Amino acid sequence: MIDLRVPLLALFTVVGVNAFAQVPEVSGAWVRAMPPGQHMTAAYLQLRNLTAGTVSITGVHSDVGMASLHETRLEGGRSSMRAVDSLDLAAGEAISMEPGGLHIMLMGLETTPVEGDIVPVCLQTSEGEVCADAQVQRAAPDTQGSHDHH
Ligand SMILES: [Cu+2]
């Protein structure tokens, strides 16, 4: 019996990390609802790298339109967006995409995302692909402690 424990534990650990957990772990995905006729919006989510190594995000995509990784920056009092080619998460690092910062830009949408819709977003990473169903909402979820009063 004792001889079996080590291999079983090892197997459990491997399965636990590779099959059941996302790398990186994605949570709290949401997309901003837009007024009728709008063909672009943004998706936000939280990423957590629970592995012992660096994980790179190399691209994003969504079935609903053209997706790209963007960052909003304040430069000289003006807010501007720029494309981000890739994103590295060090071991144990967490990154939060939220209004005013990193986001997944969604453009060329055939249908305007309205509150209650679900938008699938996927991230290409150095470990494969992770996807999440983003809830379309009018504002950031309260649970994330955001104070977006626009
Ligand atoms: Cu953008």
Average pLDDT, the chain: 87
Helix (H, G, I), strand (E, B) or coil at 12: helix
Taking a C-beta distance cutoff of 8 angstroms, is the pair 135, 29 a contact?
A: yes
Structure tokens at 53: 């190594």
Give pLDDT tens digits for 55-76. Answer: 999 999 999 999 999 999 988 8
Residue 134: the pLDDT is: 97
Give pLDDT tens digits for 90-115. Answer: 999 999 999 999 999 999 999 999 99
Fold of the CATH domain 23-140: Immunoglobulin-like (2.60.40)
Residue 15: the pLDDT is: 47
Q: In sequence order, what are the beta bridge partners of 121?
A: 132
User: What span, in angstroms and rounded, lies between the C-alpha atoms of 122 and 59?
Assistant: 8
Residue 6 pLDDT > 60, yes or no?
no
Please return the burial class of 130, using the count of CB atoms within 10 Å of its CB with bins 0-12, 13-18 and 19+: buried
Residue 2 pLDDT > 80, yes or no?
no
Q: Name the more confident of 132 and 5.
A: 132
Ligand 1 centroid, distance to 43 Cα (angstroms): 9
Share of the chain above pLDDT 70, in %: 81
Ligand 1 centroid, distance to 127 Cα (angstroms): 25
User: What span, in angstroms and rounded, lies between the C-alpha atoms of 149 and 90?
Assistant: 32
Q: What does the pLDDT average to over 108-129? A: 96
Ligand 1 centroid, distance to 82 Cα (angstroms): 7
CB contact burial 17-39 (16+ within 10 A = b; e otherwise):
eeeeebbbebebbbbbbbeeeee
Residue 22: the pLDDT is: 86
Ligand 1 centroid, distance to 21 Cα (angstroms): 28
Ligand 1 centroid, distance to 13 Cα (angstroms): 38
Q: Which residues surround ligand 1, an ion (CB under 5 A)?
A: 70, 81, 105
Ligand 1 centroid, distance to 91 Cα (angstroms): 27
Domain boundaries, the chain: 23-140
